[in-house]
């Protein structure tokens, strides 16, 4: 739910996804405008930094509420890596933790009214997904050298099927970042659009009778709860799939 | 943290904790992935995205190769068919919780798909 305030004709359920320029910024030929998307990304980053540094600065032996929340999120991601990658995944903890916290912060921020949902931009999700994809591929080649190409021929495939199986496997490997980015984008966009559509029923119906307006109102309340679950779930899914790709690169199968 | 002034059996306790930790590590070592399979709706959306992404990527790739080599529809058709195959394989792997690069039976090399429950099972 965002930008109802922006644009006079912003009643389309998709108007909330408009990227608008806030500050004009041109360096050389590059258009480095600061958009609402960029601003909310910075806010999300700042929130994560505050969350993980300020709240834990007391380092109490018996943690308070906020400190235990930070420790909970740390342990959550640490266990996720341990379960999905194994002990070899430990060096990659900072990356996965950053990824998870950033996506979670963006998703949750986007649920507040008037705040732009950064993760509903396919550029952002694809950017994150390709960072994971390229990083994981590089790790795979570092760990296994050229042996990483064996990844594309599963065990037990008869030799005469190799010309068919290898292109399919390579394609299926190339598809992974796209489906990773698309999943986050689709879930967030669909959820927020649905919320807006249901919300736009309330006022027209309420102008005539109160009772029919209560139905979309209840739907919006229910959807909001669902959206909170999705915000968390999608951050989790993104992090888990990154872990699984990392596992594949480190262990190869 | 030195246990100089602790109760006398503290070192024994340490040993026991180490033993339990060892066992726990051994139990969880086969890295079963908690797959994020939740509601049917989420699963359906996931599989649909998997299929669409497969076709999108492969058609785009075929189209691009065609444009470079000027062999109009040839590579797009080839990649369309390959993309369908890749899409179905990805869907099959997502459903049965297999890792990439394995096509073996569902009991081998399987990630514990639904044993650990959903992502809330933390």
Given this model, what pLDDT does residue A253 score? Answer: 62
Contact between A236 and B36 using a beta-carbon 8 Å cutoff = yes
- Please identify among residues 18-57 of chain A the ones whose CB lies closer than 8 Å to any CB of chain B: none
Determine contact: B117 vs chain A, CB below 8 A. no
DSSP one-letter code for B8? T
Q: Is the dihedral of CA A48, A51, A54, A58 positive or negative?
A: negative
Using the CB atoms, write b or e for A61-81: b if 16+ within 10 Å.
eebeeebeebeebeebbeebb
pLDDT digits (tens, 9 = 90+) for B63-74: 998 888 887 788
Q: Which residues of B touch A178 (CB under 8 A)?
A: 53, 56-57
Q: Express as a percent the part of chain A with pLDDT over 70.
A: 95
Calculate how close chain B gets to A80, using CA atoms only, in Å: 8
Q: Which residues of B touch A244 (CB under 8 A)?
A: 33, 99, 111
Lowest-confidence segment of A144-153, A174-183, B82-91, B101-110 by average pLDDT:
B101-110
First to last CA, chain B: 29
Contact between B102 and A247 using a beta-carbon 8 Å cutoff = no
Q: Are A26 and A206 in contact (CB under 8 A)?
A: no
First to last CA, chain A: 41
Given this model, what pLDDT does residue A108 score? Answer: 92
pLDDT digits (tens, 9 = 90+) for A189-237: 988 998 888 888 888 887 777 777 888 888 899 999 989 988 998 999 8
**Residue A4 pLDDT greater than 80, yes or no:** no
Domain boundaries, chain A: 15-251
Beta bridge partners of A21: A35
Q: Are A201 and B64 in contact (CB under 8 A)?
A: no
Q: Which residues of B touch A87 (CB under 8 A)?
A: 25
Average pLDDT of the residues in B33-53: 70
Contact between B89 and A187 using a beta-carbon 8 Å cutoff = no
Pair of tokens at residue B20: 């339990």
**Residue A5 pLDDT greater than 50, yes or no:** no
Instruction: Write down the mean pLDDT value for chain A.
Output: 85
Chain CA centroid to CA A163, Å: 36
Higher pLDDT, B46 or B41: B46
Residue with tokens 């990630």: B111
Given this model, what pLDDT does residue A204 score? Answer: 81
Q: Which residues of A touch B119 (CB under 8 A)?
A: 232-233, 236-237, 240
Q: Express as a percent the part of chain B with pLDDT over 70.
A: 60
CA–CA separation, B98 vs B114, rounded Å? 12
Pair of tokens at residue A121: 């931009």
**Residue A105 pLDDT greater than 90, yes or no:** yes
- Please identify among residues 203-232 of chain A the ones whose CB lies closer than 8 Å to any CB of chain B: 232
CA distances from B2 to A61, A227, A245 (A): 16, 48, 41
**Residue B59 pLDDT greater than 50, yes or no:** yes
Q: Rank A183-187, B71-75, B98-102, B118-122 by mean pLDDT and report only the highest.
A: A183-187
CA–CA separation, A248 vs A140, rounded Å? 8
**Residue A33 pLDDT greater than 90, yes or no:** no
Calculate how close chain B gets to A215, using CA atoms only, in Å: 22
Probe site for chain B from A137, A179, A228, A244 (most B CB atoms < 10 A): A179
pLDDT digits (tens, 9 = 90+) for A159-194: 788 888 888 888 888 888 999 999 899 889 988 998
**Residue B120 pLDDT greater than 70, yes or no:** no
Number of neighbours of residue B51 by Cβ within 10 angstroms: 19
Probe site for chain A from B25, B119, B120, B121 (most A CB atoms < 10 A): B119
CA–CA separation, A174 vs A48, rounded Å? 31
In three-state form (DSSP H/G/I as H, E/B as E, the rest C), the secondary structure along chain A is CCCCCCCCCCCCCCHHHCCCEEECCEECCEECCEEHHHHHHHHHHHHHHHHHHCCCCCCCCCCCHHHHHHHHHHHHHHHHHHHHCCHHHHHHHHHHHHHHHHHHHHHHHHCCCCCCCHHHCHHHHHHHHHHHHHHHHHHHHHHHHHHHHHHHCCCCCCHHHHHHHHHHHHHHHHHHHHHHHHHHHHHHHHHHHHHHHHHHHHHHHHHHCHHHHHHHHHHHHHHHHHHHHHHHHHHHHHHHHHHHHHHHHHHCC
Q: What is the pTM of this model?
A: 0.77
């Amino acid at each position: 739910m965002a930008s109802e305030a922006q644009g006079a004709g912003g009643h389309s359920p998709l108007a909330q996804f408009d990227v608008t320029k806030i500050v004009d910024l041109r360096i050389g030929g590059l258009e480095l405008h600061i958009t609402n998307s960029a601003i909310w990304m910075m806010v999300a980053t700042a929130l994560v930094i505050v969350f993980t540094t300020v709240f834990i600065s007391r380092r109490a032996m018996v943690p308070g509420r906020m400190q235990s929340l930070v420790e909970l999120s740390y342990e959550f991601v640490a266990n996720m890596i341990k379960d999905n990658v194994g002990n070899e995944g430990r060096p990659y903890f900072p990356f996965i933790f950053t990824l998870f916290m950033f996506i979670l912060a963006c998703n949750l921020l986007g649920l507040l009214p008037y705040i732009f949902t950064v993760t509903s931009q396919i550029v952002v999700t694809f950017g994150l997904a390709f960072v994971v994809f390229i990083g994981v591929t590089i790790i795979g080649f570092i760990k296994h050298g050229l042996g990483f190409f064996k990844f594309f021929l599963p065990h037990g495939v008869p030799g005469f099927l190799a010309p068919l199986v290898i292109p399919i496997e390579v394609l299926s490997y190339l598809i992974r970042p796209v489906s990773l980015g698309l999943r986050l984008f689709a879930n967030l966009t669909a959820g927020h659009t649905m919320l807006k559509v249901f919300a736009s029923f309330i006022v027209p119906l309420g102008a005539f009778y109160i009772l029919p307006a209560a139905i979309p109102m209840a739907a919006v309340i229910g959807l909001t709860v669902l959206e909170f679950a999705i915000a968390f779930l999608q951050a989790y899914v993104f992090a888990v799939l990154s872990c699984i790709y990392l596992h594949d690169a480190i262990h190869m199968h | 943290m030195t246990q100089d002034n602790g109760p006398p059996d503290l070192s024994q306790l340490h040993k026991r904790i180490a033993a339990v930790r060892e066992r726990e590590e051994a139990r969880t070592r086969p890295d079963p992935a908690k797959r994020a399979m939740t509601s049917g709706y989420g699963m359906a959306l996931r599989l649909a995205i998997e299929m669409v992404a497969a076709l999108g990527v492969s058609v785009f790739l075929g189209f691009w190769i065609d444009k470079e080599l000027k062999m109009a529809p040839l590579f797009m058709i080839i990649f369309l068919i390959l993309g369908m195959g890749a899409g179905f394989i990805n869907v099959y792997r997502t459903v049965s919780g297999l890792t990439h690069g394995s096509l073996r039976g569902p009991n081998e090399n399987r990630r514990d798909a639904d044993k650990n429950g959903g992502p809330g099972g933390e």
